[in-house]
Amino acid sequence: MANTAQVLYDFTAEPGNNELTVREGETVTITNQGVGGGWIEAQNSRGEVGLVPEDYIELPGGGGNVGHVAAPVAAHAPDLSFFDAFAAPANNTTQNQASNGKDPWSVWNQDTTGGSSNNWAAQPEGTITGKSAAPDPWGSTAQSHPQAYQGPGAEEDEWDDEWDDVKSNSESGDGGAIQRGGATGSSMKISLNNRFPGFSKSGPELFLLCKQPPKGKEKITIYMGEVGPVWSYPEAQLDCVVADPKKGTKMYGLKSYIEYHVIPNTTNRPVNHRYKHFDWLYERLLDKFGSAIPIPSLPDKQVTGRFEEEFIKMRMERLQGWMTRMCRHPVVSNSDVFQLFLTYKDEKDWKTGKRKAEKDEDVGVMIFSSIEPEAPDLDPIEVEQKCDQFSRFTKAMDDGVKDLLTVGQEHWKRCTGPLPKEYQRIGKAFQNLSSVFTSSGYQGEATLTDAMTSAGKTYEEIAQMVAEQPRKDLHFLMENNNEYKGLLGCFPDTIGVHKAAIEKVKEGDRLVAASKITPQDKVTMAKRVSTMSYALQAEMNHFHSNRIYDYNRVMQLYLEEQVKFYETIAEKLKQAHSQFTTM
Amino acid sequence: MANTAQVLYDFTAEPGNNELTVREGETVTITNQGVGGGWIEAQNSRGEVGLVPEDYIELPGGGGNVGHVAAPVAAHAPDLSFFDAFAAPANNTTQNQASNGKDPWSVWNQDTTGGSSNNWAAQPEGTITGKSAAPDPWGSTAQSHPQAYQGPGAEEDEWDDEWDDVKSNSESGDGGAIQRGGATGSSMKISLNNRFPGFSKSGPELFLLCKQPPKGKEKITIYMGEVGPVWSYPEAQLDCVVADPKKGTKMYGLKSYIEYHVIPNTTNRPVNHRYKHFDWLYERLLDKFGSAIPIPSLPDKQVTGRFEEEFIKMRMERLQGWMTRMCRHPVVSNSDVFQLFLTYKDEKDWKTGKRKAEKDEDVGVMIFSSIEPEAPDLDPIEVEQKCDQFSRFTKAMDDGVKDLLTVGQEHWKRCTGPLPKEYQRIGKAFQNLSSVFTSSGYQGEATLTDAMTSAGKTYEEIAQMVAEQPRKDLHFLMENNNEYKGLLGCFPDTIGVHKAAIEKVKEGDRLVAASKITPQDKVTMAKRVSTMSYALQAEMNHFHSNRIYDYNRVMQLYLEEQVKFYETIAEKLKQAHSQFTTM
């Protein structure tokens, strides 16, 4: 009995990952308890051996692990532990994504159809139209970044990394373990409910009423430009290249991960990062800037599988897109944490910087305390009008982008499915007729049959061109709009912060009357909401200028490739045409 | 009661044709018994007035019409009258076609899918492979021209004409009435079983064993050309134009018909012909040449309807194609009946010629008695080999053509259905996004939004081009293949005559031994089957040379239009592209 153990919860193995599927109540034999990283090796009654998360198994007494933990499915355990937050997606999301794993594009479809769970729907209608105020737009924070973050554990590969890291971090005393680790070593990211720790407790009044701006902090200046308030842009545009994905292994080769080179144009020196490092950066940027600046989500986590090569390429391309967008943002790219990510010198430098970033208290709405607009204060009515305008615009653009994604997705399917099949059938029919003609025994047949065969082959080539074309043009149009969908999905949260602040300012007189705040506080609040508005306007102007550039660029690229495509077809058909003769 | 009558059989009115739908057992009021042409005007209980075939109604005693006739549906009346032959299609075929009336192309689909009723399937496999002899390949004659002839009464408009004509013919003593008319004045074409009157009674031996060639008859010479036996081609190619369809009316304007101008290049003088005249010509050519030369069917009869203009245009185009093919045939175009059709001087000339043609006894297999090959007799084994080769080729080409028609039909549907809708949606999505951008309030937006709108409109234009393109290219490819399908559908019959003759020759020794024929008869049979083979070879060579020309021509046209299509799209997209800028 010493070697057998009871399975506590269902666990579905990730194919090709040396894992073992087990069911609650099943008895397994422990074959290796020392695998590490939160895993043990077990054998089931059918003799199959594989890895199972150690917390899924009730180990024999005296083992080093906690025998009982909360059930992995939230519904079973009202006392949500960190483990729950991790385990539920592992059982659900992962499997859903695995079934879609063959099609890296399915995310377009999923996201665009999941209307009920998107940010716009979650937010009360009144918040957007401005007719009624949402008392707490952040109340739905847990659901408010569906695209931004698909929940931890969506990628087995990655959450396995985390387990491992948490353990090694604990051992090495990495500060990250304090915030991110847990007693059992099985925790994942911090709870989504706590994403804005400085804010969710107290709302925008934390900034509106803070007694004095922190001393000696970095200042973010807003200038009045031709288009209105603008961020201060650096002279040289920061940029970086994400390249050279390399596979690394650990746990005696049982587990693998991908490491990328990130090469900033400032140092031209590559630094190594894994997906989880990008994810860490995303979390830091979201914490720090999310109230003022939409921080788009990272590319979706996805299960690796048979299409690993393609998946890695796609993820790298999307990480590149995300990094490029972050580099382009004057406030984000200038931040310490972003600079650390791009230019850390060595392991020690990275760890020190990481600890510092995680301890940063200038997060949530406090970011506004760093902002200094070089312009006169705005009237609160104007602040509200601007905010409503941005809300309407971003909502409308979100709809437009999703519409284009839906249409594009259908077009993609047609171009890679029925359409090339049809051209192929046309090509085959020509060739088939040609080969019948060849059997006529009539002399002088060859010119026609050669021409027919050639025309048939041309249509087969066209079939292939049609099927391959979307990757050359529609792909980029889709990626661009997908990126914008992600960005736009952040606006309800960002705008919500502003709306909440505006409501607080509107309550000013009442709060003074009730002696909750002083008349001076009321004046300060109006001034500070003006600062917030300048920030929002600067951000919108940044968004617009980027949008105009991005859409011009992607439409150029799309149309250029479309022109080439049609010209090539015309040229091929012209050649096929020249072989026929009625002389 | 004198004015009321009982309806004997269901009759469905042709919309827009002043007809009245009536049901068996219904009582109607006769409002005009003197309409003529086999029709009466009646009013139903709902007050609706319209024409009903008089034989469908049990007229009051003392009326001039037969009160009871056989039921119009064959199943109801084992004693098939001429009337039955007419009425059944009127109730079935007509309605089926009416439901397809909106789509003049549906005939492609119907014919290509109706595999079980086509000529190739109806003929025993052995006949085609030559491994076993079909004792009477004509046994299935009644079914063997499904494309050639869709049955009488398929077009209300036309059978109405017939009724009228039969009556007027009887009055004028036209000989046609003898052959085509009936006691009740309601008969249509002669029975399909009797299509080859000189042949169906006795088989090819009628020619093989005829005692002496008729004297003083026209001779059809076969020469040895470069490609083998060839017909004697005229120096100047006969051709004609079918044009100027004009609507004529009769029966006090209640019924209408279409009359075409047919203008031969020899006289350049137009003669008038209605569809039924073409049909008469077709019947004469089939009777006279069908054993030696595939006479393709006329364009399908079809119910006129809302799309009358388009239908008339399509029918004229197909009549033109049919006439062109007949003109191109050196034997057909040189025949008296064909020349009569093209160049009759006046009504009297036409009627005299018509009577003469209808009395022509040189029909069926007797056509071979006119043929004189200027070459040594062929060995019967070679005759059989040639025949088998042609049989295999025409069967294979029939399959290839039908395959292409099926593919083309699907492509047509896609190009006129889902594909343009998708391009339109892409266009709308671009324009939609453009109009969202216009609402941004950001300055310097106009260049992008103008370009996006323009790109959107370009895709809408492309949508329209895609939808219209098939009529410009695929149409002709389909028409050509449809024509060839019709031609190829005649070959089983033509080849069947040859196979039957070959079998008779093979029986020679046995027939001599049984004293059924003389040894001299046997020699004559071998000589005559050689003549038949020369005719078949000349016809195949004619077919091949036309086929090579036709397919070269139609492929040239198709590819030329396809090139233009893709070039135009590329040009439009190039212009759309030029409006975007990332400067």
Interface check B385 vs A, CB under 8 A: no
What residues of A are in contact with residue B460 (Cβ under 8 Å)?
none
Short-list B180, B394, B388, CA closest to B284: B180
pLDDT at A392 over 90: yes
Continuous segment of H or E residues that includes residue A434: helix A418-438
- Cβ-proximal residues to A343 (8 Å cutoff; 6+ apart), any chain: A264, A266, A267, A269, A271
Query: Same domain, yes or no, for B105 and B32?
Result: no
Asked if B563's CB is within 8 angstroms of A570's CB, the reply is yes
Strand duo A228-231 + B4-7: pairing: unpaired
Q: Which residue has the tokens 């994942």?
A: A188
d(CA A419, CA A417): 6
| Within-domain flag for B257 | yes
| Within-domain flag for A254 | yes
Q: Is residue B188 helix, strand or coil?
A: coil
Q: Which of A74, A91, A115 is the last residue of a domain?
A: A74
* Chain B contacts in chain A segment 44-103 (CB below 8 A): none
Question: Scanning every residue of chain B, which has its alpha carbon at the shortest distance from the alpha carbon of A401?
Answer: B433
| Within-domain flag for A275 | yes
A262/chain B closest Cα distance in angstroms: 26
A306 is in an annotated binding site: no
E-only strand ranges, A217-324? 220-225, 228-231, 240-250, 255-264, 271-274
**Which of B400, B452, B553 faces A555 most closely, judged by CB atoms?**
B452
Tell me, what's the pLDDT at B335?
93
Short-list A443, A421, A400, CA closest to A551: A400
User: How many C-beta neighbours within 10 Å does residue A118 have?
Assistant: 21
A299/chain B closest Cα distance in angstroms: 24
Interface check B224 vs A, CB under 8 A: no
Query: Same domain, yes or no, for B286 and B367?
Result: yes
- Which residues, in sequence order, are bridge partners of residue B28? B5
**Which of B410, B447, B555 faces A452 most closely, judged by CB atoms?**
B555
Asked if A560's CB is within 8 angstroms of B577's CB, the reply is yes
Indicate the residue type of B85. A
Q: How far apart are the first and last CA of chain B?
A: 91
Average pLDDT over residues A294-308: 69
CATH number for the domain harbouring residue A326: 3.30.1520.10
| Within-domain flag for B44 | yes
Structure tokens at A181: 């680790």
Tell me, what's the pLDDT at B380?
87
Query: Same domain, yes or no, for A388 and A253?
Result: yes
Query: Same domain, yes or no, for B242 and B388?
Result: yes
Short-list A150, A157, A152, CA closest to A303: A157
* Chain A contacts in chain B segment 455-514 (CB below 8 A): 455
What residues of B are in contact with residue A550 (Cβ under 8 Å)?
none
Q: Render the burial of A336-370: b for 16+ CB within 10 Å, e for the rest.
A: ebbebbbbbeeeeebbebbeebbeeeebbbbbbbb
CATH number for the domain harbouring residue B29: 2.30.30.40
Query: Same domain, yes or no, for B128 and B64?
Result: no
- Is B580 within 8 Å of A552 (Cβ atoms)? yes
Interface check A575 vs B, CB under 8 A: no
Q: List the pLDDT tens digit at each of the 583 positions of chain B.
A: 558 888 888 887 766 567 788 888 888 888 887 776 677 888 888 888 888 877 788 876 544 343 333 333 333 333 323 222 223 333 333 333 333 333 333 334 444 333 333 455 434 333 333 333 333 222 222 222 223 222 233 333 333 343 333 333 333 333 222 232 223 332 222 223 333 333 333 477 778 877 666 566 678 999 999 999 999 999 999 999 999 988 877 777 777 788 999 999 999 999 999 988 999 999 999 999 999 999 998 887 655 453 577 788 888 999 999 999 999 999 999 999 999 999 999 999 999 999 999 998 888 888 898 888 988 989 889 999 999 999 999 999 999 999 999 999 999 999 998 999 999 999 999 999 999 999 998 988 999 999 999 999 999 999 999 999 999 999 999 999 999 999 999 999 899 999 999 998 998 889 899 988 888 888 888 889 999 999 999 999 999 999 999 999 999 999 999 999 999 999 999 999 999 987 6
Q: Any idea what the Cα angle at residue B12 is, between residues B143 and B77, rounded to 5°?
A: 50
pTM (whole model) above 0.90: no
Query: Same domain, yes or no, for B348 and B391?
Result: yes
Dump the DSSP string for A357-387.
Answer: HHH----GGGGGGGEEESSPPPPHHHHHHHH
| Within-domain flag for A466 | no
Query: Same domain, yes or no, for B400 and B297?
Result: yes
- Residue B528: C-alpha distances to residues A122, A320, A504 (Å): 91, 84, 111
- Cβ-proximal residues to A348 (8 Å cutoff; 6+ apart), any chain: none
Interface check A224 vs B, CB under 8 A: no
Q: Any idea what the Cα angle at residue B334 is, between residues B332 and B336, rounded to 5°?
A: 95
**Which of A433, A559, A574 faces B573 most closely, judged by CB atoms?**
A559
B180 is in an annotated binding site: no
Number of structural domains (chain B) is 2
Tell me, what's the pLDDT at A21?
86
Asked if B577's CB is within 8 angstroms of A400's CB, the reply is no
Asked if A448's CB is within 8 angstroms of B552's CB, the reply is yes
A574/chain B closest Cα distance in angstroms: 6
| Within-domain flag for B438 | no
A393/chain B closest Cα distance in angstroms: 6
Residues listed for chain A: 583
Q: Count Cα atoms within 13 angstroms, Cβ side, for A75.
A: 3
**Which of A448, A541, A559 faces B442 most closely, judged by CB atoms?**
A541
Q: What is the dihedral angle through the alpha carbons of A485, A491, A493, A494, rounded to the nearest 10 degrees?
A: 150
pLDDT at A126 over 50: no
What's chain A's average pLDDT? 76
Asked if A227's CB is within 8 angstroms of B442's CB, the reply is yes
Asked if A411's CB is within 8 angstroms of B580's CB, the reply is no
Indicate the residue type of B513. A
d(CA B482, CA B550): 12
- Is B141 within 8 Å of B115 (Cβ atoms)? no
Asked if A582's CB is within 8 angstroms of B556's CB, the reply is yes
Asked if the interface predicted TM-score (ipTM) of this complex is over 0.90, the answer is no
**Which of A439, A556, A562 faces B393 most closely, judged by CB atoms?**
A439
Asked if B455's CB is within 8 angstroms of A555's CB, the reply is yes
d(CA B319, CA B313): 10
Tell me, what's the pLDDT at A191?
29
**Which of B411, B430, B548 faces A426 most closely, judged by CB atoms?**
B411
**Which of B227, B418, B552 faces A582 most closely, judged by CB atoms?**
B552
What residues of A are in contact with residue B556 (Cβ under 8 Å)?
577, 580, 582
Dump the DSSP string for B454-517.
Answer: HHHHHHHHHHHHHHHHHHHTHHHHHHHHHHHHHHHTTHHHHHHHHHHHHHHHHTHHHHHHTTSS
Tell me, what's the pLDDT at A61?
53
Rg of chain B, C-alpha, whole Å: 29
- Greatest extent of chain B over all pairs of C-alpha atoms, in Å: 108
Interface check A557 vs B, CB under 8 A: no
Residue B283 domain boundaries = 100-151+189-408+479-560
> Where does the pLDDT of residue A219 fall: very low under 50, low under 70, confident under 90, or very high at 90 and above?
confident
| Within-domain flag for B278 | yes
| Within-domain flag for B414 | no
Query: Same domain, yes or no, for B117 and B200?
Result: yes
Indicate the residue type of B366. M
Asked if B576's CB is within 8 angstroms of A559's CB, the reply is yes
Query: Same domain, yes or no, for B54 and B194?
Result: no
Query: Same domain, yes or no, for A117 and A65?
Result: no
A392 is in an annotated binding site: no
Query: Same domain, yes or no, for A38 and A145?
Result: no
What residues of B are in contact with residue A582 (Cβ under 8 Å)?
549, 552-553, 556
What is the distance of C-alpha A157 from the center of its chain? Answer: 16
d(CA A413, CA B466): 18
Question: Scanning every residue of chain B, which has its alpha carbon at the shortest distance from the alpha carbon of A546?
Answer: B582
User: How many C-beta neighbours within 10 Å does residue A247 have?
Assistant: 10
Query: Same domain, yes or no, for A275 and A354?
Result: yes
